[in-house]
């Protein structure tokens, strides 16, 4: 199986259901003929509107998080079973904002990844370092640890449904971007960690995305790197002209 090329837009807490429907409908028209995997991770309340707007296009709709339990007294959360019932096939797990503001840990990332895979949902697992950690020169050690912890208990056959995203925390929403070489080095580190746990063959199949102020100006250079298989795009994915350009790179 060849490696997938993936562009995922993480909308965060932006756009209403009606705005989502309008955006997705227009994007679907613009992306006719695009063969790579295009994903829009929309707020929970926008999922139904997004699914209707997708119509017959190849755009996939993702959730931005989910709980690791099947059900229970977890106010404000949604389960993999709920997402599965909506035919959602992707979910972002371990985004740095979830780690920073909502107590996401390496343990919960692993539990969520296992739960998503159990229900046939592909986890987009986010890993990355803070500016302090980069300055301490521990980026590679930290990222390899995050990758292997996230994959604890994940069987080899499920790796065909796993996506990773390298997100340098210092570059998210700041306008700062890792250089293409920096980004490629860490994506290669992620691939090496997967190879050590499974095999080089499996590692080469896993899409590894770069996320961190990706925009229409830097996307082509980033996507040209050998170990970057696409992007997890934040603010630029909310601007249809920019997102279209990024996808078509």
Q: For residues 101 and 67, what is the distance between their CA atoms, to the nearest angstrom?
A: 15
Active-site option among 67, 95, 97, 104 = 95
Whether 26 is a known active-site residue: answer no
Q: For residues 28 and 240, what is the distance between their CA atoms, to the nearest angstrom?
A: 11
Whether 95 is a known active-site residue: answer yes
Active-site option among 97, 104, 129, 167 = 167
The catalytic site residues sit at: 95, 167
């Amino acid at each position: 199986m060849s490696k997938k090329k993936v562009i995922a837009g993480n909308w965060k807490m932006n756009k209403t259901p009606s705005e989502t429907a309008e955006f997705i409908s227009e994007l679907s028209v613009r992306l006719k003929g695009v063969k790579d995997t295009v994903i829009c991770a929309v707020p929970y309340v926008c999922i139904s509107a997004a699914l209707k707007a997708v119509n017959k296009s190849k755009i996939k709709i993702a959730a931005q998080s989910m709980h690791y339990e099947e059900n229970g007294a977890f106010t404000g959360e949604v389960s993999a079973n709920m997402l599965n019932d909506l035919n959602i096939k992707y979910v972002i797990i371990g985004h740095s904002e979830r780690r920073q503001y909502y107590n996401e840990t390496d343990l919960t990332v692993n539990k969520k990844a296992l739960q998503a895979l159990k229900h046939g949902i592909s986890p987009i697992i986010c890993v990355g370092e803070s500016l302090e950690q980069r300055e301490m020169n521990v980026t590679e050690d930290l990222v390899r640890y995050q990758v292997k912890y996230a994959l604890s208990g994940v069987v080899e056959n499920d790796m065909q449904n796993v996506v990773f995203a390298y997100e340098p925390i210092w570059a998210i929403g700041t306008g700062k971007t890792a250089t293409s070489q920096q980004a490629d080095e860490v994506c290669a580190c992620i691939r090496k960690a997967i190879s050590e746990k499974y095999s080089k063959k499996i590692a080469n199949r896993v899409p590894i995305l770069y996320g961190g102020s990706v925009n229409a100006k830097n996307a082509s250079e980033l996507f040209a790197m050998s170990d970057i298989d696409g992007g997890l795009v934040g603010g630029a994915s909310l601007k249809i002209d920019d997102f279209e350009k990024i996808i078509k790179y």
